[in-house]
A and B are shown apart, each in its own frame.
Chain A
Amino acid sequence: MQQTEIETAFAELVENITGTQPARIDRDLNLDKLGLDSLSKIDLAVAAEDRFGIAIPDEDLERFVVVGDLLDYVHRTTA
């Protein structure tokens, strides 16, 4: 899957869950700044699993700090 496709789809998922406009989302944005705590990150992970057809285990999810961490994980896992 292309990086740009992932970024576009991911931005839609974030907008659905947090209401954040896609234009405000960039790779360096801290997930905390999106209003995501350790539990609401699970909403995003489950939505990303369904959208991209991958598994995002809790222990990987805990390590993600910025948006780019999650995007890179999706890119690596769907490659």
Chain B
Amino acid sequence: MGPDAHLLHYAIGGNADYVNFFAVVEYPKVWPHADKWLDSIEPGEAAAAFAGWHPAVVEMVAQHLPVRWGLFGTRPLLNWYRGAVVILGDAAHAMLPHHGQGANTTIEDAITLAELLPGTALDGLGPMLAKYQSLRRARTRKIQRSSWITNSLLHLPDGPQLAERDQRVTRFPEDFGWIHQFDALQTAHNATQTQRHPAPPHA
């Protein structure tokens, strides 16, 4: 992590023969293309962005990286369905990738729909989709927001905030357990049980 940039890397392949890395910089602040999220970069541009970093980082970005990807999120949506049409994944809650939850939350959406849908008659579709939306909207919005905040924390300038950020990193399991320990299937299952067996009215 460093001012306006960070780099994530890990070994991949059967024998960990390769290194996959993800180098992020804070610019351009405004993406210059309305119609594409891939852009070419000049030779040496990536290397210049990480000049003075750890030698392993410098070595990774020294090769010519032909393209960069713009990173985008979407504003939280109020409605995820209309009639019999429903959205999930990035269509509903595109997020920055810093929690690695784009695909995971999409699978959670799909599991939720798969748990709620069986046995739903066509005229019961509206209430079922409302239930799906209510089970998913707050959670995904929190991950969207947290990813956005994390972007800033990963790219802090040098200064006193670094110590606080680094302290927070040591509390990762406690702070982010809500993301990683979530059980979408159980949550949806519980919701269907509540629906089918509502709590008795108060005496």
B-binding residues in A (CB < 8 A): 38-39, 42-43, 46-47, 49-50, 55, 57-58
Contacts and interface: CB of A to CB of B under 8 A. Distances in A.
A3 B75 CA distance: 28
A46 B149 contact: no
Interface residues of B, number: 12
B99 to A, nearest CB: 12
Contacts of B134: 50
Contacts of B141: 42, 46
Interface string B122-150: 00000000000010011001100110110
Contact of B145 (A49, A50, A58): A58
B106 to A, nearest CB: 19
Given A46-B138, A46-B141, A57-B76, 11 more contacts: A38-B149, A42-B141, A42-B142, A42-B145, A43-B138, A43-B142, A46-B137, A47-B138, A58-B75, A58-B76, A58-B145
A5 B78 CA distance: 22
Contacts of B75: 57-58
B82 to A, nearest CB: 15
Chain A residues touching B, majority SS: helix
24 contacts: A38-B145, A38-B149, A39-B142, A39-B145, A39-B146, A42-B138, A42-B141, A42-B142, A42-B145, A43-B138, A43-B142, A46-B137, A46-B138, A46-B141, A47-B138, A49-B78, A50-B134, A55-B78, A57-B75, A57-B76, A58-B75, A58-B76, A58-B145, A58-B148
A47 B138 CA distance: 8
A55 B79 CA distance: 10
Interface of B: 75-76, 78, 134, 137-138, 141-142, 145-146, 148-149
Contacts of B138: 42-43, 46-47
Nearest to A54: B78
Nearest to A49: B78
Closest 7 CB pairs of A and B: A46-B138, A39-B142, A42-B142, A43-B138, A42-B141, A46-B137, A55-B78
Contacts of A43: 138, 142
A54 B4 CA distance: 35
